[in-house]
């Protein structure tokens, strides 16, 4: 069965995470993604190991490059630039994450390629966008997490600021980019014209602050770092049982009343200091220690069972191994094993998108460097002698 994006050709000049994350999602949805890599070294993440498979492909590289074909091209050489132009002539999308103006000197910028293919959707991913005072700066997820305010709200209230455990600025930018690409393709279906998409890690990181950003915009009060607590809801955080920690996500007054009943303090739900969520937020420093003391009297499983039965949202804190072993993760196909062209097994995280009519198909494992170079060049009309010459001079 053809995927939702079957027939869409994507030329992917991006590397590391934000761009490859976007192109992997497009590939999962059925697009033909051609990953262009530098001969000899390829995507930086191929060397970001350990761990890696026995054949040397790093786990980091594997996480973002499923469903693609790898073509090695040295775009600094005129012959390499010509290969990209031939690819773009009938492509639908080009993704790139070079520094501002980095592709213009090769004639691979938007204006140059638009002249070849006016229908091209050209998506640029940078740290700070195509304009503004920081446009020329390199963008790194860690630094952007700090600059965007995300780290200022992450970590314990009495400790240093923390980054999130994965590169969320890169990942969210990749997701926003994939959405933008599909929106531009829909717009092209109406207008016949492609367009330039300008994505910035910094912009996306500010956008993903969500309610925390809204709190500041409305209240103009700098949000504090609350550790595992919630800025707008109480109690909504981690608590310690007698044998470990669990999450309590109490979202309304009825649920709070159930919590009070379970811990043997039903009167707290009628206390004017705690009767509604705004009061509980205002009196957080009084209420939370009382709850913490009550939860220490029984083991984690006791509270999870009781809270769940009472209809109060709660959950365990799993490590990664426990999360993948969870029956729900197994039932949803979130762990899978692919086979590459040589029959080698490649463990992967499944795509979370479930489409009833055009389901995700896992057709290509993350490729070896340059695995599809000859196949793609032949399709572009290069003869065998041409390919040998391109390899000889290091173009591919």
Q: Position of tokens 């057709």?
A: 363
The active-site residue, picked from 28, 32, 43, 170, is 170
3-state secondary structure of 329: helix
Under 8 Å between Cβ of 123 and 180: yes
Angle at 256 between CA 318 and CA 298, to 5 degrees: 50
Count of beta carbons in the 10 Å neighbourhood of residue 391: 16
Q: Is the dihedral of CA 339, 340, 342, 346 positive or negative?
A: negative
Please tell me what DSSP assigns to residue 56. Answer: S
* DSSP H or E segment with residue 240: strand 236-240
Query: Shortest CA distance to 373 belongs to which of 7, 31, 40, 15?
Result: 40
State yes or no: is 90 an active-site residue.
Answer: no
DSSP string, 117-130: -TT-EEEEEESS-S
Q: Tell how far CA 266 is from the center of its chain.
A: 43
* Residues involved in catalysis: 170
């Amino acid at each position: 069965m053809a995927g939702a994006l079957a027939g869409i050709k994507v030329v992917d000049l991006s590397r590391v995470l934000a761009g490859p994350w976007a192109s992997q999602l497009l590939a999962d949805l059925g697009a033909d993604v051609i990953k262009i890599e530098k001969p000899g070294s390829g995507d930086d993440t191929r060397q970001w190991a350990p761990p890696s498979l026995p054949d040397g492909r790093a786990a980091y590289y594997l996480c973002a490059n499923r469903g693609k074909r790898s073509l090695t091209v040295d775009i600094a050489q005129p012959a390499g630039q010509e290969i990209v132009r031939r690819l773009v002539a009938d492509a639908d999308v080009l993704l790139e994450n070079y520094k501002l103006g980095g592709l213009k000197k090769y004639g691979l910028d938007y204006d140059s390629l638009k002249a070849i293919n006016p229908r091209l959707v050209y998506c640029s991913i940078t740290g700070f966008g195509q304009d503004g005072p920081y446009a020329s700066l390199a963008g790194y997820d860690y630094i952007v997490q700090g600059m965007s305010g995300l780290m200022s709200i992450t970590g314990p209230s009495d400790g240093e600021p923390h980054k999130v455990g994965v590169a969320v600025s890169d990942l969210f930018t990749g997701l926003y980019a994939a959405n933008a690409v599909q929106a531009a393709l829909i717009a092209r279906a109406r207008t016949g014209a492609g367009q330039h998409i300008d994505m910035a890690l910094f912009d996306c990181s500010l956008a993903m602050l969500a309610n925390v950003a809204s709190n500041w915009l409305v209240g103009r009060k700098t949000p504090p770092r609350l550790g595992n607590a919630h800025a707008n809801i109480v109690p909504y955080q981690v608590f310690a049982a007698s044998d470990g920690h669990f999450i309590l996500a109490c979202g309304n007054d009825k649920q709070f009343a159930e919590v009070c009943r379970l811990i043997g303090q039903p009167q707290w739900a009628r206390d004017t200091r705690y009767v509604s969520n705004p009061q509980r937020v205002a009196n957080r420093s009084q209420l939370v220690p009382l709850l913490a003391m009550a939860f220490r009297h029984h083991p984690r499983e006791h509270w999870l069972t009781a809270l769940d039965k009472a209809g109060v949202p709660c959950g365990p804190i799993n490590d990664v191994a426990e999360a993948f072993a969870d029956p729900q993760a197994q039932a949803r196909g979130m762990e899978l094993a692919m086979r590459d062209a040589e029959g080698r097994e490649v463990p992967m995280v499944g795509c979370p998108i479930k489409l009833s009519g055009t389901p995700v198909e896992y057709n290509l494992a993350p490729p070896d460097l340059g695995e599809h170079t000859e196949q793609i060049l032949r399709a572009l009309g290069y003869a065998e002698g041409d390919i040998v010459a391109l390899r000889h001079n290091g173009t591919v």
